[in-house]
């Protein structure tokens, strides 16, 4: 079971795109903590993922959003090379074996300031998507897309390549 | 050498996000064929990728954009399971071995109608990102992000995971 948790998103386009991605990669649940943007406006960007947006669970607190899961995976654009390591840091391709058979929450932070130290401390793992060391900071919904793609891949629901 | 080719993009936010992704994953060249959107507006979404947008090569024709590369890789949200196969279809994780040491163009289509049959016919390979069989159609810039991430991963520029 995969729950996508978006914490205080600021851009309605990101919420729309994330709803679309939820449908593209068949997420089970979408939780939005305390949205700081217009969810009506988000629909414009959700395409056929609009049903996810309409069924999204809007909650007031981080704690509510991470209830009832086995494994809480926070994400950060900062790799853990700064000494103050709160959580074991993992890369996207390590996810499949870690989440097998579990109810998980994939947690994404605010466009402006990411997740707080407190939110990361409440999580079990911290995931970093590697990129240009000088600028690995992805836009929120693009980070979501990469993580969901990596999980989808591992499910083997991919048709074999047809050669012509 | 990786050239990103965006054909007649319609959404300025997509052009902005793609410029940001070009910087996140250190693309070498960004070509935009006949943009159908406002490139000034795109800057709002490019964050620190704005330099890629400012240096982007704006060309008038598809042919100009695919000049001087060894391998042209078109992308499509339609997997080749319908009989009319023009090109060998590949999946993102097959890219690394196919592109090693080559000058490649990664070609992405219009939000509304994708690439034309003619444009696909001019390419060497057709790449499909697997997803929900009922709705594998990603937003343009999210497709770009996943492909660039998969290539970046293979370059081994990823720092090893640090355990705490
Ligand atoms: N390279 C990366 N790896 C993992 N998550 C990333 C990422 N880039 C962006 N994200 C996700 O996108 C969210 C918004 S980006 C937040 C950036 C902010 N300036 C900061 O200081 O943290 C992040 O909270 C994270 O959930
Ligand atoms: N699953 C997927 N695999 C590969 N490329 C994809 C993709 N989903 C979207 N894209 C890229 O995003 C572009 C815009 S999506 C185009 C969808 C359009 N409705 C159509 O009929 O084709 C596509 O041209 C392709 O470059
Ligand atoms: N290898 C292939 N796989 C799937 N469709 C192909 C194909 N080669 C050609 N076609 C045909 O070419 C047509 C135009 S290609 C359009 C691709 C799509 N709009 C996209 O970019 O997402 C398709 O509708 C399909 O019928």
Residue among B31, B29, B27, B28 nearest B59 (CA)? B31
- Of the pLDDT bands very low, low, confident and very high (cuts 50, 70, 90), residue B87 is low
Q: Within the 14-33 window of chain A, which residues sit less than 8 Å (CB to CB) from chain B?
A: 17, 20-21, 23-26
B49 near B19, Cβ under 8 Å? yes
Please tell me the number of the ligand nearest to residue B74's CA: 2
Answer yes or no: is pLDDT of B85 > 80. Answer: no
| Residues paired with residue A7 on neighbouring β-strands, in sequence order | A33
User: How far apart are the CA of A137 and the centre of ligand 1, in A?
Assistant: 6
- Is A154 near chain B, with CB under 8 Å? no
- pTM of the predicted structure, to 2 decimals: 0.91
Residues in B closer than 8 angstroms to A129, CB to CB, are 149
Q: How far is A109 from chain B (nearest CA, A)?
A: 17
Ranges under pLDDT 50 in chain A: 81, 83, 158-164
A-chain residue closest to B145, CA distance: A142
Shortest-distance Cα residue to atom 21 of ligand 2: B113
Rg (CA), chain A: 15
Say which residue, B136 or B164, is predicted with more confidence: B136
Residues in A closer than 8 angstroms to B129, CB to CB, are 149
pLDDT of residue A79: 78
**At B90, is the secondary structure helix, strand, or coil?**
strand
């Amino acid at each position: 079971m995969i729950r996508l948790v978006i914490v205080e998103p600021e851009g309605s386009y990101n919420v729309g795109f994330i709803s679309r991605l939820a449908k593209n990669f068949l997420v089970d649940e979408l939780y939005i903590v305390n949205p700081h943007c217009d969810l009506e406006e988000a629909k414009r960007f959700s395409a056929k993922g609009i049903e996810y947006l309409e069924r999204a669970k809007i909650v007031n607190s981080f704690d509510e959003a991470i209830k009832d899961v086995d494994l809480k995976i926070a994400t950060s654009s900062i790799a853990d090379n700064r000494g103050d390591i709160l959580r074991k840091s993992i890369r996207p391709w390590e996810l499949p074996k870690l989440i097998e058979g579990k109810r998980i929450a994939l947690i994404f932070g605010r466009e402006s300031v990411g997740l707080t130290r407190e939110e990361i401390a409440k999580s079990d793992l911290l995931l970093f998507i590697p990129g240009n060391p000088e600028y690995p900071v992805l836009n929120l919904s693009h980070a979501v897309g990469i993580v969901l793609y990596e999980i989808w891949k591992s499910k083997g629901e991919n048709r074999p390549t047809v050669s012509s």
